[in-house]
Structure 1
């Protein structure tokens, strides 16, 4: 998969997600345990998400995720979860398996 393909997939996922809150999970194609656990937990809690596979050759995307991790002061280990709220234009990002963050997100999404 090339960078262009990933970018196209992201654009397609975003355009198909009409909800005011969009969740995107950047994960390894090999299905690392933290990536699998994150997606399982999101599914279990009924939180819809878009999955973007991050291949080793996608250096630009990897560098961007590393910069984001540096800004947050954390290690940039996948998965990377990005929550975008279209109503406020706020973005919340975390790295790794964070069940507490998922539960906070679930509470926030409940009517």
Structure 2
């Protein structure tokens, strides 16, 4: 499950809607809702996002929460041209470990990134 899938599922369930019902409201197949919630499909297009926001009658805060979960849910990303050799090496090692990192390892890396960002 991706962050987007988790937020979408929580919002749908809070409205007591089944995937089939939400799919009917926005004009897609139920398997598409299931795939988005399960992380098998990436976040939707802007048009589908707009339909989701309307169909779920999201508050501005809920819409922001759903929208802000899109970036962290992208499965593919481009490495900027300005990346150093050390950063490439780090990304490669991280990529090899994805799916097996402990909570402690994630917390350490997250804190290190936040510390570095505070110094810029």
TM-score bin, normalised by smaller chain: under 0.3
User: TM-score scaled by structure 1?
Assistant: 0.26
Q: Which has the higher strand share?
A: 1
Greater share of helix: 2
Of structures 1 and 2, the one with the larger relative CO (CA 8 A, separation 6+) is: 1
In the superposition, the TM-score normalised over structure 2's length comes to 0.25
Structure with the greater alpha carbon radius of gyration = 2
